[in-house]
Structures are given as C-alpha cells and as structure tokens.
Chain A
Amino acid sequence: MKVKDIMAPITEYLSPDDTLQRAVLTMRTARRWHGLGVKGMVVLDGQGELVGILAIKDILRATIPVYLDPTISRFSWDGMLEEMARRVACKRVREFMSATVVTIDEDASLMACTDLLIKKNLQRLPVINRDGKPVGIVYIRDVYKVISQIFVDQPQCPL
C-alpha cells in the first residue's frame, strides 16, 4: 500500500485570513470517518497551495503571552488564561499556524510515512501530488488502523 491508499482527501481547510474563532468553529463541525472531530487542519491560500497547519496545540500556544516563562507563570492570576483567550480570538490563523509543514508524496510507502510521523512527532501529514499540490492528509490513526488490522489478522501469538 501507498500513502494515497490510506489518506483522507482534503474536504475542509482553513484560510490564512480566517480568524481563530472561525477556525475553531470549522474544526468543531468537521467529522472524520470515525465520527470524531479533528484536532488540526491544513491551511490553504487562494491558489490552493499549502501554507500551513493549524492544530489545537497552535491554538493553545496562541494564548501564551511571549513574556511568560515558568518563573513568571507562577504569579499568574486566576482567569488569566480566559483573558488571554478572549484577546486572541479575533486574530488571524496566519499568525499562529505552523508555517513550516512536513509533507509526504502521495506515492511514498507507508513505511516512509510511519517513519516521518514518528521521527518528527507528528499527528497528521499532508500529502502532495507530483505538482506539489496538497491532495490529502494521512493521520497517525489511519496508519495505526493498518497495523492493528495486521496484528488482528495474524494467528494468535503463543502466550
């Protein structure tokens, strides 16, 4: 099997000019095959080029002020996170997305894909075609599904 055989096609995506508020609404309503919401989405510009990924970690990071460090955060007041969240809700996706995106070719092997996901500590990997256009996403869960199916299909291991 190749990456393109297990990838999910890109049906929904974010624009770099979306507000974070809009981005979380889009991510909340999107559903995958297993019925659960998504925790990250690709960001495409007007030409359909991949310009970034916005994941929930990026949204969490957006609320942390630049000056905060483990020493200063000891003094934070109750309600500070909520205050910071309200402050960034209307900021743009482009400010907080991860702009350097690791991608994989649609014809790459699942082995190469698994290696990338693990070594680069990724949850999802945008898939690009020969023209460099994004065509799908491979989620860590999808590769796991392939592997777990192989485990289950094997004769039972001696205990």
Chain B
Amino acid sequence: MVAAAPHFEPNAAFWTATLIFLVAYVAIVTEKIHKTVVAICGAALMLLFKILDQHEAFHVEEFGVDWNVIFLLIGMMIIINLIRPTGFFEYIAIKSAKAGRGEPVRIMVIFALVTALLSALLDNVTTVLLLAPVTLFIADALDVDPVPYLIMEAMASNIGGTATLIGDPPNIMIASKARLTFMDFIIHLTPAVIIMMVFLVLLIRLVFGRRLRTRPELQERVLAMDEKAAITDPVLLKKSLFVLAVVLAGFVFHGPLHYEPATVALFGAGLLLLLSGTKEPHKILADIEWPTLFFFIGLFIIIGGVVKVGLIKWMSLQMLELTQGNLFGTSMLLLWFSAIASAIIDNIPYVATMNPLVIDMAGSLWPGETGLALLQHPDLMPLWWSLALGACLGGNGSPIGASANVIVVGMSERAGKRISFLRFVAYGLPIMFLTVIIATIYVWLRYYFL
C-alpha cells in the first residue's frame, strides 16, 4: 500500500530550511521572543537564503501565504470590532444570567452553552474576552467563586469553536487547504460537538450541582438587572445583526455558489463598515489583531520553505511507515497526537505543519490523483476531521493550550483569583480526554464502522 520512498538526497537548502524551521519552533514554544517576531524573522530568512523566492512566498498556493485564511480572519475581525461596542455581548450575558434565574449551576450551564454557540459563529478569543468580565461581575453579585465559571467558559469556547469552519483558526486553515466548505464542517463536526456539549453539561451538573450555592437575596440582584441597559447603540446593533445574518447565510451557501469563505467575510466587513456610517475606519482597522495575522503570514512562508525542500514529504513518509498505510490507524494517531500536541504548543503552527503533511501523505497513498480528487479523497476525509478535532479539542488540556484559556487565566488573576497551572489542568485535562474519547468513538463509528 505504501509507495516506495523516492530517492532523497538532503542538500544544503534542505538543512538550511530545516534549521530555520526548528529554531523558529523552539523560539515560539519557549516564548523568549514574541511569536510574531519569530515568524516574521523566520519567513525573512527563508527568502534571504533563497529557499523560496518572493513570488513563491506571496503568490504560490503550495509554498506561500494562504490569503484565504488571512482575509477570512480580517473580515471577521472587522465585523466583530464593529459589533463589540454596541453592548450586544453584555446584553446576551446578562440575559443568560437572568434566564438561569440567578441559580449558580443553571447559570454555569447556560453560560457554557452560550459561549459554545458564540465561539462557533465568532472567534473564541472575542467571545471569552467579552463574556469573562460579565461572568466575574455575576459571580460577585451571587458571592460564588468565579474560577469554575471562567474555566468552563474556556472549555466551552474551545469545544464550540470546533463545530464550524470559522469557529477556530485550525478549522479555517484546514478548510482552506482541503477546500472544504462551511457546510462540510456543519455536517461532519457539529454533530460531534453537540454530543460533547451534552456531556459537558452533565459533567457541570454532576461536579457543581451540590457545591455552588447562593442566597435568595443575592439571586434577586441578578433578577433585578435590566439587560436592555447594555445596548449602547441599538441602530448599529440592528445593522450588525443584519450583516451577521447575511454573512452566516453566505457561509452556508458559499460552496454551491462557488465563493471562498474569505469573500463572504470581506463582503460582510465592507457592508457593515458602509452601513455603520463610520467616519473613522482607521480606528476599526487599527483594532484588527495584526500581530496574529503577521504570525500566520510568517508561519505560512516558513512552512512553505520546508515543504519545498522536502522535509514535510519526508515526515509524511515516516508517518505512513509508522501506521503501515492503515487509514484508521493514521486517523487515530492524528486525532490523539494533535490533541496532545495542541495542549502543549500553539495549535496554529501545528496545523500549519500538518496540513501539507496530510496532503503529501495523500499524494503517496493515491499517486494517480490530483486536485480536489486528491484533497477530498473519500478515504482522506476522516483524516482531516481527526486533525481538526484533535487540534481544537487539545487546546483544553492546559492553561496555555488555547488563546481563550490564556485570557481567562489572565483576567482571573487580575481580578485577584489566581488560577494555578494545576487547578486549570485538574478541570482541563479530564475534559480534554472526555471530548477526545467522544471524538474517537465518533470518528470510528461514523467513518470506519457504519
């Protein structure tokens, strides 16, 4: 089944590119230098040593920057930057707390579900960044420990983000590389995420059901809040929700209409900028997370370099050798290895590396196929889903596993409630294992058993 390894002679370019790649990875993991700086320097070195020429880095899909990812992120960031100041997120959070009738466990469940839903449709970081302050406030009002709430929100945001193409950066990257549509993710990943959320809710009830208590007069505080007071700009909010609906419809139909997801996001961003009547687009554009985008840009070029010299191809052959071309085995290996790797390192560089590796592996398995027939080979699809599930869910395993975790830990610390590494892991690791086990059963049942 495995294609014979082609004759491969590492040359100077191979070693140079591999060295740049390894040094960049070590620098990113150790965090001695900011990851964006590392990515830009690494990319510049790939160009300077002529591993890639500039045309390849900027314009060739196989080796260079994936502009689909960049512009999808830019479009969504602009839309979110315009929605944020309307008070929409605070409105939802206060309304959720009231829907929970001021009961601590019920509120935790509703917050987890709302976080998962918002994270699936927007990005995890924004969701957590906007919900965490309200969570701390509600916890103060009810005189309960905010830490379990914050950790559960990070968990729910990483699980919810797994559900859709736009939910989490790994999915955006996988979708672009494998040319998957929004509906592909809805059909293949959303059911798994719904099952996981059911288990998360049961777990919350089981663990916190008896532990979290408040007093009726404190519940009254929450019930007396009027969520409508959060809305600062009702006109802009209506326009934002309209554009959000248009964008979601655009995502649902982008496949059949033959538009890339980035086209949908950019259209939405342009439309909302226009409707908002802003005279200060520079302020909204300045709030785009440029460091994140440049991190992506740099990484794409670094990975392009090691793809071109054959390192990724070599790695893919090692992996095939390990699994002996058994696709179920490969799928499980991808799922679990991705989960553990993503708990320890940033899942963005991880997925950036794995994407071309999976494609190279497919190329060895089905040498006759090219293009979409190769990228979406029926036997390859479970591998993409395993990669997405592992990379997204693994983020829950440690406080540094995902950006949402870093944010809740940071915010909790500033609020005087330090979450130690071990306390986070005590919640995160069991939930990571629970969700990855669910994913394992899901992938096995859906793609290899039934």
**Interface of A toward B, CB cutoff 8 Å:** 65-69, 71-72, 74-75, 77, 80
Contacts and interface: CB of A to CB of B under 8 A. Distances in A.
B140 A72 contact: no
Given A74-B230, A77-B221, A65 B94 contact: no
28 contacts: A65-B137, A65-B140, A65-B415, A66-B136, A66-B411, A66-B414, A66-B415, A66-B416, A67-B132, A67-B134, A67-B136, A67-B411, A67-B415, A68-B133, A71-B90, A71-B232, A72-B133, A72-B134, A72-B137, A74-B229, A74-B230, A75-B94, A75-B225, A75-B226, A75-B230, A77-B221, A77-B224, A80-B140
Interface of B: 87, 90, 94, 132-134, 136-137, 140-141, 221, 224-226, 229-230, 232, 411, 414-416
Given A71-B90, A72-B133, A77-B224, 13 more contacts: A65-B140, A65-B415, A66-B136, A66-B411, A66-B414, A67-B133, A67-B134, A67-B411, A68-B137, A71-B230, A72-B90, A72-B134, A77-B221
B20 to A, nearest CB: 40
**What 4 pairs across the A-B complex have the smallest Cβ distances?**
A67-B133, A67-B136, A77-B221, A75-B225
A75 B229 contact: yes
Contacts of B134: 67, 72
B136 to A, nearest CB: 4
The interface residues of chain B, by DSSP majority, are classed as helix
A77 B141 CA distance: 8
Contacts of A67: 132-134, 136-137, 411, 415
B153 to A, nearest CB: 13
A74 B225 CA distance: 9
Give the interface centre of B137, B230, B415, B416 by most chain A CB atoms within 10 Å.
B137
A75 B225 CA distance: 6
A89 to B, nearest CB: 14
B149 to A, nearest CB: 12
A66 B133 CA distance: 8
B392 to A, nearest CB: 27
The interface residues of chain A, by DSSP majority, are classed as loop
A66 B136 CA distance: 9
Nearest to B90: A71
Contacts of B411: 66-67
A71 B86 CA distance: 10
Nearest to A91: B416
A19 to B, nearest CB: 15
Contacts of B132: 67
A69 B230 contact: no
A68 to B, nearest CB: 7
Contacts of B232: 71
Nearest to B141: A77
A71 B94 CA distance: 11
Nearest to A84: B140
B87 to A, nearest CB: 5
B221 A65 contact: no
B145 to A, nearest CB: 14
A74 B90 CA distance: 11
A72 B226 CA distance: 11
Contacts of A72: 90, 133-134, 137
Contacts of A77: 141, 221, 224
Nearest to A73: B137
A89 B439 CA distance: 49
A126 B416 CA distance: 30
Give the interface centre of A69, A72, A80 by most chain B CB atoms within 10 Å.
A72
B9 to A, nearest CB: 58
Nearest to B85: A71
B133 A69 contact: yes
A77 B229 CA distance: 14
B111 to A, nearest CB: 14
Nearest to A75: B225
B414 A75 contact: no
Contacts of A75: 94, 137, 225-226, 229-230
Nearest to B231: A71
Nearest to B130: A71
A67 B410 CA distance: 12
Contacts of A68: 133, 137
Contacts of B229: 74-75
A71 B87 contact: yes
Contacts of A66: 136, 411, 414-416
A80 B226 CA distance: 16
